[in-house]
């Protein structure tokens, strides 16, 4: 059994008594990682976005995208000044560092964040990972809400929900009108857009692939928030267009067998690792200091 499976099994055995959203003790990663100073690693920076047959400069993108003025709730932002979030923020920096380490080995830039079941913390992880990146000097992150069935990113950010991805995929909006920017940090958002009746068909129609290919060179990281795997096929479709997949597992809640099924879907393809969300500080999750594991699952 791999170390990640051991950790998941242990987490299931040590199921915490209750979930406490008010006290966000969130994520953890194994003690086998190598600390990398934030911002120490250089990633290639290309500032052109080929789209509609021509190349757009970053400055044009900045000028033409929407700047609605988000109202990010401090309850969802682990980098807010709330003291209880300090440990959580540190773990998102660790996750960020591990992703930069993985990038040293393979060219990853577009990340899909998914999970087995609803409510495991995909949006929480996607948003705070993007914030961790955008808070670095001269780093630029794009968040895409590809959960066209239960979109939440715009709610967490206090941003308009449309026009967004569904409108672009349906041919009702162009690249610029679906991109929102924050004037303070280098964080951009593509919200999910207007509700549609055929999300899977839209995601598979080829336009998402083209959009990601065109836009990802403008950003240091592109983070795609997806629906859960067991409910619908959407995450598997989007994963084909992403460089890597992160699977969020809610500590002590998601059954081990179900997580195994999810990991099998992406193993051998582009699975990067697992984030154990909501783990108890100090708990022993099978060989990891406390919390969980993030890394390659080699089983």
Ligand X SMILES: Nc1ncnc2c1ncn2[C@@H]1O[C@H](COP(=O)(O)OP(=O)(O)OP(=O)(O)O)[C@@H](O)[C@H]1O
Cα separation of 11 and 294, whole Å? 14
Nearer to ligand X, 17 or 21 (CB): 21
Q: Is 119 in the site for ligand X (CB under 6 A)?
A: yes
Applying CB under 5 A, the span of 35-43, 121-129, 196-204, 257-265 interacting with Mg ion comes to 121-129
Q: Is 233 in the site for ligand X (CB under 6 A)?
A: no
Q: Is 206 in the site for ligand X (CB under 6 A)?
A: no
Nearer to ligand X, 150 or 233 (CB): 150
Q: Is 115 in the site for Mg ion (CB under 5 A)?
A: no
As measured in angstroms, the least distance from the Cβ of 147 to Mg ion is 5
Q: Is 86 in the site for ligand X (CB under 6 A)?
A: no
Nearer to ligand X, 65 or 126 (CB): 126
As measured in angstroms, the least distance from the Cβ of 115 to ligand X is 5
CA 217 to chain centre: 17
Q: Is 145 in the site for ligand X (CB under 6 A)?
A: no
Nearer to ligand X, 24 or 30 (CB): 24
Nearer to ligand X, 76 or 294 (CB): 76
* β strands within the chain, DSSP E: 27-28, 48-51, 54-57, 110-115, 141-145, 180-181, 187-190, 221-225, 244-250, 271-277
For residue 288, give the nearest of 33, 87, 30, 6 by alpha carbon. 30
Q: Applying CB under 5 A, which residues contact Mg ion?
A: 122-123, 152
């Amino acid at each position: 059994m791999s170390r990640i499976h051991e950790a998941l099994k242990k987490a299931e055995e040590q199921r915490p008594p209750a979930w406490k959203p008010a006290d966000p003790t969130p994520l953890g990663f194994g003690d086998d990682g190598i600390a990398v100073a934030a911002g120490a690693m250089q990633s290639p920076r290309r500032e052109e976005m080929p789209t509609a047959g021509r190349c757009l400069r970053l400055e044009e993108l900045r000028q033409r995208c929407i700047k609605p003025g988000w109202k990010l709730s401090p309850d969802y932002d682990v980098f807010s000044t709330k003291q209880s979030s300090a440990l959580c923020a540190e773990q998102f920096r660790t996750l960020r560092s591990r992703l930069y380490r993985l990038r040293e080995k393979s060219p990853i830039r577009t990340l899909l964040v998914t999970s087995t079941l609803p409510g495991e913390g995909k949006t929480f992880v996607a948003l705070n990972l993007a914030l961790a990146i955008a808070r670095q000097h001269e780093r630029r992150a794009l968040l895409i809400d590809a959960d066209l069935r239960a979109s939440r990113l715009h709610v967490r950010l206090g941003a308009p929900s449309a026009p967004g991805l569904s409108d672009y995929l349906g041919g009702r909006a162009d690249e610029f009108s679906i991109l929102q920017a924050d004037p303070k940090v280098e964080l951009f958002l593509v919200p999910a857009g207007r509700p549609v009746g055929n999300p899977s068909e839209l995601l598979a129609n080829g336009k998402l692939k083209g959009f990601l290919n065109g836009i990802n060179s403008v950003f240091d990281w592109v983070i795609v928030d997806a629906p859960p795997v067991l409910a619908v096929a959407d995450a598997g479709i989007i994963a084909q267009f992403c460089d890597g997949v992160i699977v969020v597992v809610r500590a002590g809640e998601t059954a081990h067998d179900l997580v195994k099924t999810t990991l099998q879907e992406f193993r051998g393809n582009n699975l990067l690792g697992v984030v154990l969300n909501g783990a108890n500080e100090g708990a022993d999750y099978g060989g990891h200091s406390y919390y969980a594991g993030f890394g390659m699952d080699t089983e």
